[in-house]
Amino acid sequence: MSAINQSGWRPEMGPAEMGQAGHDAGATFTGNRALMLEEPLLFEIGRPDASGVDLPETVLMENRLGGMMRAAQVDLPGLSEPETVRHYTRLSRQNYAIDLGLFPLGSCTMKHNPRLNEKMARLPGFADIHPLQPVQSVQGALGLIHELAEWLKTLTGMAAVAMSPKAGAHGELCGLLAIRAAHDAAGSDRSVILVPESAHGTNPATAAFCGYKVENIPATAEGRVDLAALVSRLGPDVAGVMITNPNTCGLFERDMKKISDAVHAAGGYVYCDGANFNAIVGRVRPGDLGIDAMHINLHKTFSTPHGGGGPGSGPVVLSAALAPYAPLPFVERHGDRYELVEEETAGEHHAGTFGRMVAFHGQMGMFTRALTYILSHGADGLRQVAEDAVLNANYLLRSLDDVLVAPFGATGPCMHEALFSDDNFAEGFSTLDLAKGLIDEGYHPMTVYFPLVVHGAMLMEPTETESKAALDQFIGAIRSLAVRAKAGDPLLKSAPHFAPRRRLDETQAARKPVLIWQPPLVAEAAE
C-alpha cells in the first residue's frame, strides 16, 4: 500500500485534504492532479526581462513622448512561445464548454454552435471590415444585415427592427427608450412600468435605469402573471409592462393577448423579453400577441455562444406603433444598393427616432453567424428547433419530478426549461450543495436560486441539440445527487472535490473580491 493510502487518502479528497494526508505520511504534494496541472498566473511564471520574440534595437527620438516617459518598468511578464501556449491550453482544460457536454443553464440557452457559422463569420468582407469604410465598399455586409433584419421581422410578425443593440439588457433599454419617445411625442407623461414576478431580473433594472418607477405584478399559484392584478393596476400613469414570455418559470403566458389588449386600452405599450424566444421561434409570432417591442438574443436563439460577457447581439423588433421611434443607424435598400442611414431626418418612418445607442451599427460577427444559422435551418427547421427544445425540457421534467420537487409540474407541460426546488432535501442541505456536486459529475451547474418566486430554484434548459442519450446521462447525475441531498450525505456539503478549485466562500467573494494580482511581498505588506 502506498504512503498516500496508508495516510487515509480517499478519492473524494480535495488538494487541501490530500496535502494534510500526505504531510502526515511524510509526502509532499504539488497541487497537480493526474493530467490537470496546477497553473500559476502569467505574472508568477513570466519574467519582465524575457521575451518570446527577438526585436531589433530601437533608436529612440529624444523627447519623443513630450516628457511622458515612464519613470519605472511596467513589469509585464515575458514568456517564451511554448510557455505561452501551454499556459492558455492548460487554462482551457479547466474550463467547461458546450463542446464538452450539456450546458443546463436555464434562461441562458447555451446551445450548439455549428462550425459552419464560424467559417462564414471569418470570410473576407465580414471579418476584416472597418466601421468607417465607405458604404460602397461594404455592400455585402450591409446586404447581410438587411436580409437578417427581414428574417427577424418575418419570424416575429413585427413592422421594424433595430439592429444596433448589443445584447439583452441593451435591447431592453432600446425598447423602453422607444416607448418613452412615443409617449413624449403624444404629450403623455407616464412614470410607471409594471413588471411581473416571473420576468427576468434585468427587466426592472432597465426600467429603473430609464427613470421609471417599477411596480411588481404577482404571479398566480401556477406561476403565470396574475391577469386580474395587472388589469386592476393599469391607469394613466402606466407607460407599459415588461413581460417575459415564455417566463422564467418555464411556462408560456396563456393570457398574453389579453394582457396586451388591456395595456393598449389603457394607453400603454407592451415590452416582451425575448431571451426565451428559442422555445417559440417558428411556432408563435410575438406580433400576433400584441407585443410592441421585443429584444432577440442572437447569441441565444440563433446559436452563437455568449459566455464570458460576449459576443452579444440583441436586435429589437418593434410594432408599427413604435417603428417611427427606432434608433439610428439602420440599413435601407434602394434597388440593388444598400445605404446606412445615420441622419435623424432620414425618412418619414423614422421621424421620431430617439437617436443613437452605439457609435457604430452592430456586431458583424454575430449577424453573420445568426443569418448562417437561419438559412441553414429555414422556416421549417426553426420551427423544429422550438419543438425539440420543448420536448427535451419536458423529458427532463418528467424524468426528475419523482426525486425533485417541481413546483409547477402539476400544471402541465413546461416550455424550454424545467424548474425544480430543494424543498425535499435533508435539513441543512440546499440547491447550492446539489449544484456544487454536479461539478464533480462533470457538468456545469444549472441556473440556481432563480426565479425568485421559487425557494431554492434550479432552472434547467437542455436545448434542442441534446440527444436522448446525453439527456439520460445528465438525468442520471441529477438523480444521484438528489438522492444524496435527501439522505443528507455530508460529502455533498463540501463538494466539489474533483474540480481544479474547491468550494469558494461566495459571500466573501462578493463582499471582498480580490481583483488584482500583487507580488507576494506586496500582498503580505498590505495584509
Q: What angle do CA 53, 58, 61 make, to 5 degrees?
A: 150
Long-range contacts of 319-322 (CB under 8 A, 24+ apart): 319/158, 319/159, 319/287, 319/291, 319/292, 319/293, 320/159, 320/160, 321/182, 321/269, 321/292, 322/160, 322/175, 322/178, 322/179, 322/182, 322/269, 322/292, 322/293
> How close are the terminal C-alpha atoms of the chain, in Å?
43
Task: Output the pLDDT for position 38.
Answer: 83
Task: Output the pLDDT for position 5.
Answer: 35
DSSP per-residue codes, 362-388: --HHHHHHHHHHHHHHHHHHHHHHHHH
- Average pLDDT on 132-158 reads 96
Mean of the per-residue pLDDT values for the chain? 88
Burial (CB count <10 Å: 0-12, 13-18, 19+), residue 474? buried
**Strands 238-244 and 213-217, how do they pair?**
unpaired
Task: Output the pLDDT for position 447.
Answer: 95
Residue 250 domain-assigned (yes or no): yes
Q: Which of 323, 348, 373 is the last residue of a domain?
A: 373
The structural domain count of the chain equals 2
Residue 492 domain-assigned (yes or no): yes
Task: Output the pLDDT for position 359.
Answer: 85
pLDDT at 10 over 50: no
Same domain, 171 and 308: yes
Reported in sequence order, the residue ranges of 117-252 that DSSP labels E, i.e. its strands, are: 160-162, 192-196, 213-217, 238-244
Task: Output the pLDDT for position 77.
Answer: 87
Same domain, 385 and 362: no
Residue 69 domain-assigned (yes or no): no
Phi, psi for residue 419 in degrees, rounded to 5: -115, 130
The domain in which residue 281 lies consists of 158-373
| List of residues 6+ apart from 272 with CB closer than 8 A | 242, 243, 244, 245, 286, 289, 291, 293, 294
Query: How does residue 496 score in pLDDT terms, banded at 50, 70 and 90?
Result: very high
Query: How does residue 140 score in pLDDT terms, banded at 50, 70 and 90?
Result: very high
Distance separating alpha carbons of residues 480 and 393, to the nearest angstrom = 19
Residue 502, all three cell numbers? 474547491
Task: Output the pLDDT for position 72.
Answer: 79
pLDDT at 256 over 90: yes
pLDDT at 446 over 70: yes
Task: Output the pLDDT for position 265.
Answer: 98
Q: Which of 288, 228, 239 is nearest to 263 (CA)?
A: 239
Q: Residue 46 half-sphere exposure, CB side, CA atoms within 13 Å?
A: 20
Question: Can the peptide bond before residue 15 be classed as cis, meaning omega within 30 degrees of 0?
Answer: no
pLDDT digits (tens, 9 = 90+) for 60-97: 666 666 677 777 777 788 898 899 999 999 998 888 88
Same domain, 367 and 467: no
Residue 347 domain-assigned (yes or no): yes
Same domain, 364 and 479: no
CATH number, domain at 491?
Answer: 3.90.1150.10
Same domain, 165 and 243: yes
Task: Output the pLDDT for position 43.
Answer: 86
**Strands 213-217 and 160-162, how do they pair?**
unpaired
If one counts every other C-beta atom within 10 angstroms of the C-beta of residue 50, the result is 11
pLDDT at 37 over 50: yes
pLDDT at 293 over 60: yes
Residue 37 domain-assigned (yes or no): no
Task: Output the pLDDT for position 527.
Answer: 62
CB 297 within 8 A of CB 277: yes
Same domain, 232 and 286: yes
Residue 77 domain-assigned (yes or no): no
Query: How does residue 198 score in pLDDT terms, banded at 50, 70 and 90?
Result: confident
Task: Output the pLDDT for position 310.
Answer: 58
Distance separating alpha carbons of residues 392 and 467, to the nearest angstrom = 8
Query: How does residue 309 score in pLDDT terms, banded at 50, 70 and 90?
Result: low
Q: Which of 424, 372, 416, 425 is nearest to 397 (CA)?
A: 416
- Average pLDDT on 278-306 reads 92
Q: Which of 18-27, 266-275, 419-428, 450-459 has the lowest mean pLDDT?
A: 18-27
Phi, psi for residue 446 in degrees, rounded to 5: -70, 175
In the chain, the amino acid numbered 344 is E
pLDDT higher at 200 or 245: 245
How many residues can be counted in the chain? Answer: 527
Same domain, 456 and 386: yes
- Average pLDDT on 132-152 reads 95
Same domain, 366 and 439: no
Query: How does residue 270 score in pLDDT terms, banded at 50, 70 and 90?
Result: very high
Residue 147 domain-assigned (yes or no): no
Residue 198 domain-assigned (yes or no): yes
CATH number, domain at 242?
Answer: 3.40.640.10
Question: 215 vs 205, 274, 454, CA distance in Å?
Answer: 12, 21, 19
Task: Output the pLDDT for position 36.
Answer: 78
Same domain, 413 and 358: no
pLDDT at 242 over 80: yes
pLDDT higher at 233 or 49: 233
Same domain, 190 and 327: yes
Query: How does residue 137 score in pLDDT terms, banded at 50, 70 and 90?
Result: very high
DSSP structural state of residue 326: P
Residue 272, all three cell numbers? 416582451
Strand partners, 293: 271, 318
- Average pLDDT on 502-519 reads 86
Same domain, 213 and 305: yes
Residue 115, all three cell numbers? 462550425
Same domain, 193 and 258: yes
In the chain, the amino acid numbered 143 is G
Reported in sequence order, the residue ranges of 296-451 that DSSP labels E, i.e. its strands, are: 316-318, 330-334, 337-341, 418-420, 447-448
pLDDT digits (tens, 9 = 90+) for 384-430: 999 999 999 999 999 999 999 999 999 899 999 999 999 999 999 99
Task: Output the pLDDT for position 484.
Answer: 97
Q: Which of 204, 393, 384, 170 is nearest to 296 (CA)?
A: 170
pLDDT digits (tens, 9 = 90+) for 363-390: 899 999 999 999 999 999 999 999 999 9
Task: Output the pLDDT for position 398.
Answer: 98
